[in-house]
Structure 1
Amino acid sequence: MLAAPLVAKVDVSSQTMTVYHHGQIVYRWPVSTARSGKWTPRGTWSGKWLSKNHKSSLYDNAPMPYAIFFRGHYAIHGTNQISKLGRPASAGCVRLHPDHAAILFHMTQSLGPKNLKVVIQN
């Protein structure tokens, strides 16, 4: 695995996130990535900045609790559309159950965003 204390690996084809802490799998959660017509970027980034009670500036102030931004407007964040987790539904961000988003947010906050690697692959 990547040499980072915390890794959030998103598998777009299975709509899951696997969280590694010091190389060990600690969580595996369902996610929602981009719905048809939208795009979730593929690649590897470090966490950039955190926003606990974020509201989308692009999508009608949509709630984005526990947002971890990793590339421009793209973030991992909680969603109130829990029933859609496990299938594509977002405008491009990686959506998590709010409880899971809070766990990842607090882990990232304690280690520092630059110590989070976000890996998104097909």
Structure 2
Amino acid sequence: MLKRVLACAALAGGLAAAVPAEATVVAQISLSQQRMDVVVNGARAYSWPVSTARRGYVTPTGSYRPTRTARMWYSRKYDMSPMPYSVFFRGGYAIHGTTYVRSLGRPASHGCVRLHTANAAILYNLVQKKGFGAARVVIRP
């Protein structure tokens, strides 16, 4: 029976070839470079300066799936600071927009990954469109 299924798949050109690969969005963040590259469907689509944790705080490294999103969130921990276009990836840690654009490109946050609000909106919309299962946040030292 298995031989017949494999033969049918081979005759049809292979089942895998007929099904398109799942679309993905990966936010790759470099703490040392204070930069985020966004890879969409395997190709780098965007590259933006970011701000991650300043001295005394930590931005966690590792690979994460988004856990939730919020078009506008207010930090309960840090004086109700606005966090537009938030993509949460580990507990209270998120990638989000900021008005402190002069700080982009150097460590300045309490641990979140900050970027220009227009760029945060692009990433937020990509994650919304592709879904959490097809999105990944990768943070490297």
User: 1:1-122 alignment to 2 at 5 Å?
Assistant: 5-122=24-141
> Which consecutive aligned stretches of 4+ in structure 1 deviate over 6 angstroms post-superposition?
none
Q: Which runs of 5+ in 2 are unaligned?
A: 1-21
Identity %: 48
For residues 59-102 of structure 1, the C-alpha deviation after alignment (integer angstroms, 9 at most, x for no partner) is 00001000000000000000010100000000000001000000
Tell me, in whole angstroms, the C-alpha distance in 1 between the residues paired with 2:24 and 2:54.
Answer: 30
After TM superposition, the score normalised by the length of structure 1 is 0.96
Q: Which runs of 5+ in 1 are unaligned?
A: none
Give the number of the structure whose alpha-carbon radius of gyration is greater: 2
Is the CA contact (8 Å cut-off) linking 1:75 and 1:93 kept in structure 2? Answer: yes
Instruction: For 1:106, give the aligned amino acid.
Output: N
Cα offset for 1:113? 2.1
Cα RMSD (Å): 1.1
Cα offset for 1:56? 0.4
Q: Which has the higher helix share?
A: 2
Tell me, in whole angstroms, the C-alpha distance in 2 between the residues paired with 1:85 and 1:30.
Answer: 6
